[in-house]
């Protein structure tokens, strides 16, 4: 998958399965619900069922059309998920005695608006790793302290690329006109995988650059990169592992606006304090591009799609994130290492696990 870890510890060979006992994800809503309004809000728990599968069952029970349901994000089939669903209040009676072996309605309330995609702060995860010996558990606890302080690269997870890891190749073929995909939903899915692939390549390259700045002297770095000496000095002096470059497009973290990095020294300090974060390009039309050195590295990765860039809707994504409220508990008798942590929306728990254990593709 062409991703470079930023930490340098040896792999920890743990066992993880995404099932309803060992993997639980709970949505963190973007806002509190008002308790009044024309929309019924259902807090639901599902297991071993996709969000679409759950909504299909709700549709059959209530008679509501799928498009009438609101949700903040689509959740995977594997594991247990707690999420919020909205539907017009007129369908409320259909859910009063609802019962299903894979779905449980935990709470209900009301709100003025339909829940829309992206209307969440993030997700809270519970993960149980098995076959963990005491030495590995101690290593993970130490690594977690580093990740809590320094964060980690916000790669797209392997789920984005399919079981064979080649969804992005199909997306590129569609854009080049070599492959026809009549299903609009699947077409967009494959194209999105291609954008994600380019993002991961770019981010891995930037992690590599940061590693080099972390390891070599200013003189050696000048020979490697041929940047102006003053720029080498400014980048080398940055306190965070991930090094910002001139022309970086930054974003207030975790919410706020995007802006151009014009003062490398000042913004690197704010980045180190978790107040802002750099962003990476999801190539396509209407996406804002970085400038200067940062822009050059974006262009190196995205030049292959210049001929069909206008066929994709572009945007930007956090390059570096921090997990919040990290908790861990080691149960030596069972050889279980249990984790709780919260990630911003759109980020992958498996990416967090991969950086922690240096295992790929859980």
Task: Give the active site residues.
Answer: 76
Secondary structure element (H or E) that encloses residue 219, with its range: helix 218-225
Distance CA(277)–CA(268), nearest Å, equals 9
31 contacts 235 by C-beta, under 8 angstroms: no
Cis peptide before 197 (omega within 30 of 0): no
Contacts of 208 (CB under 8 A, 6+ apart): 4
- Residue 167's CB: how many other CB atoms inside 10 A? 22
- Give the closest residue to 314 by CA, choosing from 337, 289, 290, 285: 285
Phi, psi angle pair for 207, to nearest 5°: -65, -40
Distance CA(104)–CA(42), nearest Å, equals 10
DSSP three-state, residue 358? coil
Find tokens 């974003």 and name the residue.
Answer: 251
Distance CA(107)–CA(353), nearest Å, equals 31
């Amino acid at each position: 998958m062409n991703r470079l870890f930023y930490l340098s510890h040896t792999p920890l060979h743990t066992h993880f399965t995404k099932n309803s006992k060992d993997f639980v994800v709970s949505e963190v809503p973007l806002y509190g619900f008002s308790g009044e309004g024309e929309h019924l809000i259902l807090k639901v728990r599902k297991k071993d069922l996709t969000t679409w599968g759950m909504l299909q069952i709700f549709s059959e029970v209530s008679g509501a059309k799928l498009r009438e349901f609101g949700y903040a994000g689509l959740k995977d089939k594997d594991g247990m998920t707690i999420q919020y669903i909205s539907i017009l209040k007129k369908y409320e009676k259909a859910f009063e005695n609802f019962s299903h072996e894979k779905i449980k309605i935990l709470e209900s309330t009301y709100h003025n608006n339909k829940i829309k995609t992206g209307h969440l702060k993030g997700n809270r995860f519970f993960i149980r790793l098995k076959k963990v010996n005491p030495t590995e558990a101690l290593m993970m606890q130490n690594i977690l302290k580093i990740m809590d302080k320094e964060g980690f690269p916000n790669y797209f997870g392997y789920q984005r690329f399919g079981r064979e890891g080649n969804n992005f190749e199909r997306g590129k073929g569609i854009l080049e006109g070599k492959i026809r995909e009549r299903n609009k939903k699947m077409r967009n899915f494959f194209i999105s995988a291609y954008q994600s692939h380019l993002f991961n390549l770019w981010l891995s390259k930037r992690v590599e650059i940061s590693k080099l700045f972390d390891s070599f002297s200013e003189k050696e770095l000048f020979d490697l990169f041929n940047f102006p000496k003053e720029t080498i000095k400014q980048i080398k002096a940055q306190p965070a592992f991930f090094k910002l470059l001139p022309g970086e497009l930054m974003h207030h973290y975790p919410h706020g606006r995007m802006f151009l990095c014009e003062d490398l020294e000042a913004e690197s300090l704010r980045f180190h304090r978790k107040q802002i974060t750099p962003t990476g390009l999801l190539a396509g039309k209407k996406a804002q591009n970085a400038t200067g050195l940062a822009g050059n590295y974006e262009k190196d990765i995205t030049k292959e799609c210049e001929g069909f860039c206008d066929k994709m809707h572009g945007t930007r994504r956090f390059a570096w994130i921090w997990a919040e409220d990290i908790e861990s508990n080691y149960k030596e008798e069972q050889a279980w290492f249990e984790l709780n942590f919260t990630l911003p929306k759109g980020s992958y728990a498996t990416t967090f696990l991969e950086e922690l254990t240096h295992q790929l593709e859980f």
